[in-house]
Structure 1
């Protein structure tokens, strides 16, 4: 009895931030509905919240990525293993994105006039923002010509590239770089805590934003979210059961399928309960050990996967972009846009940190890349991001576990599971 009440209280604690956020949004919407355009006077609260978030994003991205790579164990097979891990991560993220893209093309979102009105208002407020993404060369997207320009969120890709290189440079520095690894780890932890502090005012900030949106653009805004959310939850559930089963089958045949679903429950519940891939690392590592995944593989795939491998985030990125395209009257079904959408999605799922609500970093990047006005687009993307967080985290975190199986299958051959479990059975019987 005691454990049941303890379990429900811990579940409530884990969901507290999402429940508070939903409460903030609901109250804000109600206030906007009741007071109409008078609520413009509280919009500044939303602006403060977003400004704090924008300020924290740059160091957070740098420390998350650089520390992940700097902490890899250096072995002879690191290069080969890193190649396999990268291929598996990118393939699964692309598959999940394509699945979601097909669903969004099959059930398109209506281009809502309410959203269009918001977009028009945004253009009046900020006409330069749409020009941002046009006329930039690949060199300008991937690099900057001065260090301080890395500090701008407009140069997110250049920052990621440098963060990865700093991580590898730290690895190469070996013993002499040890102190720098400690610095990166400390920076990563501090930035996660900073984001946690900023997120405590999210219910207030987003509540104020919603009061403003509903007050100025009418309550029909709320109806806009129902269609994409229903599509997202249905698609993710199907993807989780069918595609993860296929991945497990590829990794170890029938035995792989059984072993995955048998050991998958604790990580799955941890992911849904905490809404954090990072928080699911211990449960994932334990499950991977029980599944017979070798230590040198699980110790790279799972910690590295938490911040950079996200099937669920790639699917939510597609749904956010579909909604923004509808909002700003852009054609989502144009084939030439698909490659851009998929490319951005893969990058976004890499950028999004393994923290509750870490997807906001990715959202900023996607919005900037397509030239949508940040002030209007980000709150919409954030709300969708919050509502899809539990199931997105389930796919993100569980995706790391099934990926570790697939990496082992490619690195160790198709009989790896029988050999590993056979020897562990023998050991346990002694």
Structure 2
């Protein structure tokens, strides 16, 4: 009996062991060989590209099939209402707690601006907003850069299928089948995760590691220190509110693969498949997970909220301005919500957030490079908070839509 149980345990967790082994090997390679490990980046890119190509149909089928299968229960409106409150509430909480952390550990060190080669998109805000929610061509929906537009389209397809009734149930079955098939596609791709994520960890540590101890060390230390606190303590608190100690255990037991995927890829969108599988294991109902996880990858970003506040504090310190007046704080809280909506769920999401807050506070263009550098160097931790915050948000949403006994069927 003991041997059989041990074999089952090893079988269930073997994937995690391989993943951790690959990450450790990559991290050691990055430390030992430094920038030379950049040669491994194409290996990580192959894995990431496979995730990106699979995530678009996975999200489409997950959302469309979830809505098509609702029937006439009217449950979707309640789920979306609770989702909006949870997303907005957690983003504001993360921003406020970061402001408190900045007050306790002020960032006054002058940071020398570094020249970046990254092109900055300076399209008018109205044009950026229209491109955020819609595309002018159908094929553009297939790009991960238009994830929110694709989600809106998926919702429309789901409602259209629901409205068509049983006469066209064959299309509903098609959506359900597509959802299951692309779940299996993800499972196959994740078999490459130990190699792919290992290569990415080697690249990140080898190339960006030295900068973490340079002129940006103080602000980065604050970000990573507070980010780790938020990840371990606040997420545990959210899970406890959702379902007590049992929920906390279930959350952390199933959060390893999404966390590794988020840190390794620096992409919330690439983490969607891992989050959806983790949500199933956490007991989050499919109808909630299939809607809130893809939506959270584009709209719910606790990590971006934290980084926005710290980048604001650094820029304010650089230009000798106070970051503690009521109007500044209120605008900062509003900006973090806006940044969560407009920033993409892809690596270094276009630096839209930096452009927004610098414009809002009237800073000159010289304020942009330091904010962009910090944004690049905190990307792994920011993505970790962005992505894994979606699953714990899903637990909270389940608690407030399904009741306190939502975990009993999990």
Would you say 1:403 and 2:393 are equivalent positions?
Answer: yes
The C-alpha deviation readout for 1:76-98, integer Å capped at 9, x for no partner, is 32222111111111111111111
1:218-237 matched pairs, under 5 angstroms: 224-237=215-228
Cα displacement string for residues 215-273 of structure 1 (whole angstroms, at most 9, x for unaligned residues): xxxxxxx9541211111111111111110111000011111111111111111111111
1:105 positional shift: 1.6
Is 1:391–2:389 an aligned residue pair? no
1:157 and 1:92, CA in 2 relative to 1: closer, same or farther beyond 3 A?
A: farther
| Partner residue in 2 for 1:79 | 77
TM-score w.r.t. length of structure 2: 0.63
Aligned position for 1:412: 402
Q: Residues 292 and 362 (structure 1 numbering): CA distance in 2 closer, same or farther, change over 3 Å?
A: same
Aligned position for 1:34: none
Q: TM-score, normalised by structure 1?
A: 0.60
Q: Does 1:7 align with 2:22?
A: yes
Which residue number corresponds to residue 314 of structure 1? 305
Instruction: Tell me, yes or no, if the aligned pair for 2:307 and 2:382 is still in contact at 8 Å.
Output: yes
List aligned pairs for 1:1-400, cutoff 5 A.
7-8=22-23, 11=26, 73=67, 75=70, 76-110=74-108, 112=110, 152-155=123-126, 158-159=129-130, 163=134, 171=155, 174=160, 224-358=215-349, 360-374=351-365, 376-400=366-390
2:221 and 2:323 map into 1 onto residues whose CA distance is: 19
1:352-389 C-alpha deviation (Å, 9 max, x unpaired): 11111116122222222222233x23322221011111
3-state SS of 1:73 partner: helix
Q: How many residues align?
A: 300
Please tell me whether the aligned partners of residues 293 and 391 of structure 2 are also in contact (alpha carbons under 8 angstroms): yes
Unaligned runs of 5+ in 2: 1-16, 39-55, 115-121, 135-147, 164-170, 172-202, 208-212
Structure 1: state its 5+ residue gaps. Answer: 24-62, 119-150, 179-202, 208-221, 422-430
Where 2:378 maps in the other structure, the secondary structure is helix
Say if 1:69 and 1:167, in contact at 8 Å, map to a contact too.
no
The CA distance in 2 between the partners of 1:97 and 1:275, in whole Å, is 20
Cα root mean square deviation, aligned = 3.9
